[in-house]
A and B are shown apart, each in its own frame.
Chain A
């Protein structure tokens, strides 16, 4: 390396062309912003995750099954904390805001050790009420304000078969807010990935247990141990029957032990365990029937018990029935008569369907029969507490008018004693359901000495995993699961980076063109071409490194500025830690290294080609030789052919875009525009390479001269045109991609499915369904009348929508009525797995696949960004019973309001998750005119139950908003780039002015006036800028037209005009400076330089 010469040349830094520094700095700014913002956002999302889960790695969730909190002590050495978690309703006493459905956690000091802070909030000593900012905002309360907490711990069991005879009464607590939770104190605590913080209230475990009347109970265990198997083993050895929600007690009248459940139906695994325990267990199934009827009479609302043969006094066939003597009298029945049982069975959406079964009366029981026993009837809520049947307040359809005085008399005498008995086999055939097929198990009193002994004997044969009591990992996010924002932003900024590199290259070419004789001299005195190339590359390397360093600092400053205004770019995230600049140690190397490599690559070829020029030409400072003429003809031909090819490709791509699928549309539209831009630049290159003499002889004088000047240095002109064109193209393309959710939103194949409203809730919405069923919405006015409600079930999981930056491994599952959706023609199924019939649409979800996997759909955004999966992929999920099931993605929906979930048929979802509490998502078709009012009404009516309704288009818009945010960042980068580009363009013009001083001097010497010279220069810049702007506009339109015609919207005229004005200002500034130089230097001085 020629160190001395390099050292001498470094003095040139004083004269180093600013465009080189500006180009390198711009490239570095783009890289810095993309990478630094990417790193920062990535770290921020990981921090959000840390605030959500702290050091929790495993959880055991009992749901509505409450177990002993003391179990948490049984996992040593692993650290485990018990939590009592319920949904409740919170209100401020002055009712200033709607009630807010909130997760309420009862915790003790152990819980806080898992938080990022590692300690409880100040003043927490097992009591106190702490809320997060989200809840405080919603309730409009602060520390010291009173709030009303309403909650109930309903462990009644299957939501579909809730034979309640009295509505649950929530318990109320009035407390002052002790403190606000911050991110380090679990303000974002959530077992499922969700970037949106949910309302949260935390209070002492004992206090919540007391409120819910669940002393010593919990329903959630958390641990920092990632190894779940030891935890499961420890749980199995520590748990008892009580922890399953069942209980054993002596039935003194019968000399028996009985195991029953607070959930009415005993879980099937418990029955199997009792059988395996070898204690001669006998199952009992008692069911509520709506009527016992003969051909002419009906006895309404009764209990019927199914018993094993060993407990029946007679040998009863499965189609025979034993009846209470009262019933025989009431219906005038005799043995051999036919008796029809009317009863409810659960259907979807908590609808009970009444059906019937016919039996033949075997015999009539004696008044003293031991079967006439009220203990056979489980404890249906509200059933036994009333003095008369008409006092029932049932939560399911009962016509209390059907209850006769005779029935009330029976109630007074016999209470709920069953009126008929059938075989257990017959009963289970009628009333078995996913929640169980027994209501009690009886053992002889000799089977155990105490209930504890009985519990232990059964628990020994029971695997808690079969009841869904299983420790599971909660997938703490690793850096790999977070969206790679850096690559994303780099991808978005590629045009800008290329423009910056082109600028650097142009500036270097300008610099080299001044130093051609120097290269010639070095060649003449013995420097080899390779040596000169290395020398100049090293020289520019230092310049570029300096520019890159400046760009690194500027870019870092810009990102810091972005972060200050993050709320403008991102949704406000209360309870979220503020993002802070994450300056990776490798960033300077990546930015400066990347800029150097890219810039050196761009500049290498020019210096190499110069060194290969004849030395004699170099010494004379000229490069054009007669030989170049034929080469320029080849260039014209080559560029013209390439341009024709690329422009044809652009046209074909644009044409295809008109008929492309929605997910291909943006790709094809952008591809068409990019190809159009490239083709245009190639055509321009061909035009510039044409011999000067033939350049548009018909043009007016100054314009023709301007064009000739523009063609004099084709590379420089092409770069200026390219920068202007790229800027305009970016402005149009970025703006046009802002999607319009309102476009054709009323169509059923649109993203709204043609639904007007979308509502979601954290808890099942049974009251809403009852109101719809009972036509109570008709009373609310025209906004919700008529209204069609499509309830959907949700199996919670890690949010897979584009609102989450984390890859979802266990996405939420949405159970939909596939038949209804198919009939409605809702949403747009883009494609299905090869081999499946696309015309079947939603019906493809109705049956398991031949390999046993359950079929699911997902929308394009969910699959691409949330799951990083494609059609045919398998996703695992865990059932209520702790079994792994496989879901295969067989269909891809267009962007829709069903984003963030995998969609499966409701019936298949219920088979896998029988404990699903009921619908938590709703698609509502109501009069569009009153959509806003309907939203208001729904939120007013159901907010206490956690329902949040919005217009379907608003949801779609909020989902598009994420994309809009990224586009906004890109726009921000683009704007920064355009500012830098404009400045650099100005510097080039300034440079050009300096270069042409002698020429200007000559023109003045021969009599040209400064104003004429200025017009000549303006003509050249007019050609360059107008060609660039025109090309960019055409390419932008090529992108915009297919999109606008398919998706609606309009061209961003304002931005375009602003861009043109910006270019004009830059052009005029450059022109002004050039003209100023032309006027302010004396002609003699300029001529002397020449």
Chain B
């Protein structure tokens, strides 16, 4: 895999004519189309909200962007790399370096402390520079006011705190893109807004692209661009 950085003006993610269909499991083998001919580009520093009704394919689109899933048709380019040409291991490596994920569920490992959960993505490389990484983790914790929770286990945190830790975990490897799949879905309005503020704050501070899936218009308005998905078609509003 070519790891040379792409030109500054090159899109971080580019989708061309992406179609995603699923088999419904019917005996006749018929399936359903979730995404139909998606074309999009995500640039460095973008903050994008993707909205749409339930089942419109928001999460599927996000998963395709991050290389967690594969399109039925079309091409996806991530940092200049055509995903379909990469092996599973190469895709994993690319994900580890370039993308941070935040899910609706925090997915914190119960056996790890807050600090260890944050360092988890760095463990791919056996914490190659442990001191530097730990320092970065503490920096992030300090910045988000979670420093005092560094050595607690997830079971000792509130829902909002867990999701904040999940955000920090997504940033530990200094990715260029942060993909958040309804990170506020399970939070109350105040906590949700607080989390979005944190995301925006960190996005600007780290100069990364943020793509956030949400069905809450108030959350979407915090992003610079809003895209809407409806019946598999993407509508770029701004």
Contact = CB atoms under 8 A, between A and B. Distances in A.
Interface of A: 1-5, 8-9, 11-12, 15, 517-518, 520-531, 614-616, 619, 625-627, 629-630
Given A4-B126, A517-B107, A626-B22, A526 B96 contact: yes
B97 interface: yes
Given A525-B95, A529-B88, A614-B69, 15 more contacts: A1-B126, A3-B126, A4-B130, A11-B111, A12-B111, A520-B107, A524-B101, A525-B121, A525-B169, A526-B124, A528-B88, A529-B92, A616-B63, A627-B23, A630-B25
B152 to A, nearest CB: 14
A630 B107 CA distance: 31
9 contacts: A5-B123, A9-B111, A12-B111, A521-B107, A525-B101, A527-B124, A528-B93, A625-B25, A627-B25
Contacts, number: 90
B24 interface: yes
Given A8-B112, A615-B68, A525 B105 contact: no
Contact of B124 (A9, A531, A626, A630): A531
Contacts of A619: 68, 103, 105, 107
Given A526-B92, A526-B96, A614-B69, A8 B109 contact: yes
Interface string B75-118: 00000000000001100111111000101010101011000100
A528 B89 contact: yes
Contacts of B126: 1-4
A614 B67 CA distance: 11
Among A517, A526, A626, max chain B CB count under 10 A is at A526
Contact of B107 (A12, A518, A531, A626): A518
Chain B contact residues (Cβ within 8 angstroms of A): what range? 35 or more
B66 interface: yes
A526 B105 contact: no
Given A12-B111, A627-B23, A525 B69 contact: no
Nearest to B59: A616
Contacts of B219: none
Given A518-B107, A528-B93, A626-B23, A615 B69 contact: yes
Nearest to B121: A525
Given A8-B111, A521-B107, A526-B97, A629 B25 contact: yes
Contacts of A522: 120
Interface in B19-73: 22-25, 59-60, 63, 66, 68-69
A531 B96 CA distance: 13
Binding site secondary structure of chain A: helix
B127 interface: yes
Contacts of B211: none
B119 interface: yes
Given A4-B119, A5-B120, A626-B25, A524 B66 contact: yes
Contacts of B96: 525-527
B166 to A, nearest CB: 10
Nearest to B60: A616
CB-CB nearest 8 A-B residue pairs: A526-B96, A626-B25, A528-B92, A615-B68, A528-B89, A5-B123, A525-B121, A521-B107
Nearest to B62: A616
A521 B25 CA distance: 26
Given A526-B93, A615-B63, A8 B25 contact: no
Contact of A4 (B59, B89, B127): B127
A523 B103 CA distance: 13
A522 B122 CA distance: 11
A526 B86 CA distance: 14
A831 B126 CA distance: 68
Nearest to A624: B25
Nearest to B123: A5
Contacts of A616: 59-60, 63, 68-69
Among A15, A525, A527, max chain B CB count under 10 A is at A525
A174 to B, nearest CB: 84
A12 B22 CA distance: 37
Interface in B111-166: 111-112, 116, 119-121, 123-124, 126-127, 130
A614 B97 CA distance: 20
B101 A2 contact: no
Contacts of A527: 92, 96, 124
A3 B124 CA distance: 10
A513 to B, nearest CB: 15
Contacts of B127: 4
Nearest to A530: B89
Contacts of B92: 523, 526-529, 531
A630 B28 CA distance: 11
A97 B112 CA distance: 79
Contacts of B23: 626-627
B88 A526 contact: no
A3 B125 CA distance: 10
A724 to B, nearest CB: 33
Nearest to B172: A525
B109 A518 contact: yes
Nearest to A517: B107
Contacts of A526: 92-97, 121, 124, 173
A3 B66 CA distance: 26
Contacts of B22: 626
Contacts of A12: 111
Among A8, A9, A531, A625, max chain B CB count under 10 A is at A8
A517 B105 contact: yes
Contacts of B107: 517-518, 520-521, 619
A518 B95 CA distance: 16
A349 B95 CA distance: 95
A737 B173 CA distance: 66
Nearest to B116: A8
A523 B99 CA distance: 12
A525 B111 contact: no
A495 B89 CA distance: 39
Contacts of B116: 4, 8
A524 B68 CA distance: 7
Contacts of B112: 8, 11
Nearest to A629: B25
A938 to B, nearest CB: 77
Contacts of A525: 95-96, 101, 120-121, 124, 169
Contacts of B89: 528-530
B177 to A, nearest CB: 13
Contact of A2 (B69, B111, B124): B124
Nearest to A526: B96
A7 to B, nearest CB: 9
B27 to A, nearest CB: 8
A8 to B, nearest CB: 5
Contacts of B68: 523-524, 614-616, 619
A531 B93 CA distance: 11
B233 to A, nearest CB: 21
B114 to A, nearest CB: 12
Nearest to A523: B92
Contacts of A521: 107, 109, 120
A720 B121 CA distance: 38
Contacts of A627: 23, 25
Nearest to A520: B107
A212 B92 CA distance: 95
Among A11, A517, A521, A530, max chain B CB count under 10 A is at A521
Contacts of A517: 105, 107
A935 to B, nearest CB: 72
A239 B22 CA distance: 101
B23 to A, nearest CB: 5
A383 B170 CA distance: 117
Contacts of B97: 526
Contacts of B94: 526
B117 to A, nearest CB: 9
Contacts of B124: 2, 525-527, 531
Contacts of B130: 4
A517 B103 CA distance: 11
